[in-house]
Chains A and B, each alone.
Chain A
Amino acid sequence: MLVHLRRAVVASVIFFVLLGLAYPFLITGIGQAFFSHQASGDLVAAPRGYLGSSLIGQHWNGPRWFQGRPDTDNPSATGSQNYGPKSKLLLDFARAQVRRLEKEGIKPTNELVTGSGSGVDPDISPHSAYVQVAAVAKANHLSVSAVRRLVTSHVVGPYWSFLGSPYVNVLRLNQSLAHLESATKAP
């Protein structure tokens, strides 16, 4: 019993040093040395500081901008809203999204009326981006075809053409939209 106890304490110390410190420090060292951008959170640089992380969703008010999933987008409290499939809460939530989108002249799609798994989903399906093209083009006084081309150029994946689903990153898309606007408005 006592010999078990002594070994248990020693083993805890060894594994703390090896697995709890050395292993994560090694991966942090390799990650920061070779993949510093990814390892630090895929931050998108702005003139001052950061615009955001391309992996963390933000709230966009339509129709001037493309909108993402109707999430809380709070990276300090991630997670789904956990509404059951036959829950009144979900029914009311989805109805509210449908009303909001229809008011903006956008046809509601699956992702645009449902909460994501992370609560910070940065992406939408290409279909959910295309349905917003007309409204976004009108609000920004841009041609529909130019905005549509912009969306097409931002469609990513699936990985190796079959792992996961194709998607559009909303932050990157809106960043390009801002560039397109300033380019069009320039003399």
Chain B
Amino acid sequence: MNFFLTILLLVACLALTWRFLGSYMAAVYEGRVSFLGWLERPTYRLLGVDPQREQSWQRYAGALIVYSGVAILLLYGMFRLQGSLPGNPAHLGAVAPALSWNTAVSFVTNTNWQNYSGESTMSYLSQMGALAVQNFVSASVGIAVAIALVRGLVRRESSTIGNFWVDLVRGIYYVLLPISIVFAVIFVAEGAIQTLAGPVSVHDALNGVHQVIPRGPFASQEVIKQLGTNGGGSYNANGAMPFENPTGLTNFISVFLILTIPISLTYTFGKMVGNVRQGVALLAAMTILFGVWLGVATYAESQGNPAVAAAGVKHQPGGNMEGKESRFGYSQSTLYNIVSTQTSTGSVDSANDSYTPIGGMMLLSGMMLGEVTPGGVGSGLYTILVFAIIAVFLGGLMVGRTPEYLGKKIQSREVKLAALAALVMPITVIVLTAIASALPAGRAGALNAGPHGFTEILYAFTSQGNNNGSAFAGLNGNTAFYNISGAIAMLLGRFAIIVPVLALAGVLAGKQVVAASAGTFRTDTPLFTGLVIGVIIIIGALTFFPAVSLGPIVEQLIHGRFF
């Protein structure tokens, strides 16, 4: 009942923001709002950018890549010099080179995979000035790419797709920063920590316990970590840590913040292409898949933990509670983690590694669908548009005419670019998992034995290749092998998809629009939604089913054996 009401409230809140945040974002990226001009104009002046001047897709992509490269170097430098920089009340030393590299790539690619524990590794300056800044920036970059692709679909015979710097700045100033300020205050009021006073020592005379409790300015980071679908926790425990996520309300708000931009962008898309139903067709595909995954995982977790049952606690009315927090319970913990894995967020309020085999499989396979249900901020929309183009192509093959999407002819070049964007992720994940499973350095990382150990490795590369960042955290990723191979997966999963997507945007922008005729395959109908779902499932299921069957499926099917 509680779970049902939670879902109901979530749907109501998301429906409101879908409509209003969706149309607001369309206005932001079409340049129709300007109330922050006093902040925006000096920014452009300092950057030396003329906001009226647009870029070709090559220049847009070039600016994006150069900026991301500079950000990676800057973060790397800040981590390496951490010991000598200010804002370090706990006197933490420099972060090791391989770990600095992995972490810098991780936060710039919107992945937030973490091979470190925040509370014992990162100074306040590193958390605020490096990690949280990238939480804003990488999210805005993601939205910018999605908007550029939508512009490509809308424009006729145009050689430009927007200005990267303007899209980057407007996304941060008009969307991410205002929402973050409001919700960060709510998080603090609920109990999330926000202080610069350093760690505190406590002594409990009742039980003789001494604790040194690390503290920091983390509520502000928590909110943008969710809103920007980043997911990197200030503490190792991430959203399970009471200082990050203190109450049932903050847990709910976290789920809402993660979903709100990816969901609303389908409205923005519909509005920009002049037919909201186009966005609804994609949203329906996202929602149906998401609902199935949530339902199966919640049911699996309600069944309790097999090892705990074998230890003698047969009756588990609270579901599988290993790795879960008392104040959330199993169902709202499962909601949080399913939302986070299907949005490329990767924050967790409970331990993925301790989910039941089927619950864990839903977390894993939710990412394997390509992070489109609804996916990360921007990345969800541009990836599902890639799938939509493939679906249109398949539809065109079935009826035997040149396919069109939103009046744009989908020809060989577009299909090649879309196929490239769709295949980068599965190839990256499968090849790197195979290498890690074959090498002693890869196998050494797994904590749990048997099929679960393999799942830990598969999960690590699926998560990084999809820029998700959640982990089956028993895997010890802080080794040279995992730091470097993981960074490669994250870079490919981000930029090897963004570049073909921007190319697609450029090519589409240059095309004419063909008028719809009776023979046009309509893309705002339930039939099309079904076709998109089919494409997502076929690409996700066919490529990953063999790997999944070696991990969670085997684990589920073996009865009464512990590893």
Binding site for B on A (CB under 8 A): 1, 3-12, 14-16, 19-21, 23-24, 26-28, 30-32, 34-35, 38-43, 46, 49-53, 55-56, 58-61, 65, 69, 73-91, 94-95, 97-98, 108-111, 113-125, 127-128, 157-160, 162-165, 167, 171, 174-175, 178
What's the interface size class on B, roughly?
35 or more
How many Å lie between the Cα of A117 and that of B332 in the bound state? 13
Q: In the complex the two chains form, is A165's CB within 8 Å of B353's CB?
A: no
Residues of B within 8 A of A (CB): 1-2, 5-6, 9, 43, 46-49, 62-63, 66-67, 69-71, 74, 117, 119-120, 128-130, 132-133, 136-137, 165, 168, 172, 177, 180-181, 184-185, 188-197, 200-207, 209, 211-215, 217, 219-221, 235-238, 240-243, 246-249, 251-252, 304-308, 310-313, 316-329, 332-333, 348-351, 353-357, 360, 447-450, 452, 472-474, 555, 558, 561-563
User: B181, B206, B320, B447: which contacts A51 (Cβ < 8 A)?
Assistant: B206
With known contacts A79-B473, A95-B311, A163-B252, A87–B452 Cβ distance under 8 A: yes
Contacts A87-B452, A163-B248 given; indicate if A15 touches B137 (C-beta within 8 A).
Answer: yes
Alpha-carbon distance A51/B180, docked complex (angstroms): 33
Task: Report the nearest B residue to A126, measured CB to CB.
Answer: B326
Q: Which residues of A contact B200 (CB under 8 A)?
A: 40-41, 43, 50
- Flag if A4 contacts B66 (CB, 8 Å): yes
Chain A: minimal CB distance from B161 (Å):
16
Query: Which residue of chain A is the closest to B359 with respect to CB atoms?
Result: A85
Closest 8 CB pairs of A and B: A164-B248, A117-B240, A165-B329, A80-B351, A94-B311, A20-B129, A163-B248, A55-B242
Please report the C-alpha to C-alpha distance between residue A115 and residue B474 in the assembled complex, in whole angstroms.
Answer: 14
Q: List 14 A-B contacts (CB under 8 A).
A: A7-B48, A15-B137, A19-B132, A31-B195, A39-B193, A40-B197, A41-B195, A79-B238, A79-B240, A83-B322, A84-B555, A91-B310, A113-B308, A164-B332
Please indicate which of the listed interface residues A35, A74, A175 has the most CB atoms of chain B within 10 Å of its own CB.
A35
Select which of A84, A97, A123, A128 is within 8 A of B448 by beta carbon: A84
User: How far, in whole Å, are A6 and B47 apart by their CA atoms in the complex?
Assistant: 8
The smallest beta-carbon distance between B311 and chain A, in angstroms, is 3
B246 CB to nearest A CB, Å? 6
Tell me if B237 and A4 are in contact (CB < 8 A).
no
Interface pair A98/B219, CB less than 8 Å apart:
no
Expressed in whole angstroms, the minimum distance between the Cβ of B12 and any Cβ of chain A is: 13
A116 to chain B, nearest CB (A): 5
The reply to whether B194 and A5 form a contact with Cβ atoms under 8 Å apart is: no
Residue numbers in A under 8 Å from B62 (CB-CB): 1, 4
Residues of B close to A46: CB separation below 8 A:
203-205
Smallest Cβ-Cβ distance to A161: which chain B residue: B2
Which of the residues B70, B180, B311, B328 comes within 8 Å of A23, measured between beta carbons? B180
* Contact assessment for A167 and B70 in the assembled complex, using a CB-CB cutoff below 8 Å: no
A109-B70 contact given A75-B119, A85-B357, CB 8 Å threshold: no
| Residues in chain B near residue A23, CB distance under 8 A | 132, 177, 180-181, 220
Determine if A8 and B70 form an interchain contact, defined as CB atoms under 8 angstroms apart.
Answer: yes
Residues of A within 8 A of B48 (CB): 3, 6-7, 10
Contacting pair A88 B47 (CB below 8 A) = no
Interface centre among A81, A97, A164, by most B CB within 10 Å? A164
Expressed in whole angstroms, the Cα–Cα distance for A109 and B315 within the complex equals: 8
Q: Is the CB of B327 within 8 A of A165?
A: yes
Whether A121 pairs with B326 at a CB distance below 8 angstroms is yes
Given A19-B133, A79-B236, A86-B307: A116 in contact with B212 (beta carbons within 8 A): no
With both beta carbons as reference points, the residue of chain A lying nearest to B196 in the complex is identified as A28
B321 cross-chain contacts in A, Cβ below 8 A = 110-111, 114
Q: Which residues of B contact A171 (CB under 8 A)?
A: 204
Give Cα distance in the complex from A30 to B204, angstroms: 30
Chain A min CB distance to B448 (Å): 4
Are A52 and B237 in contact (CB-based, < 8 A)? Answer: no
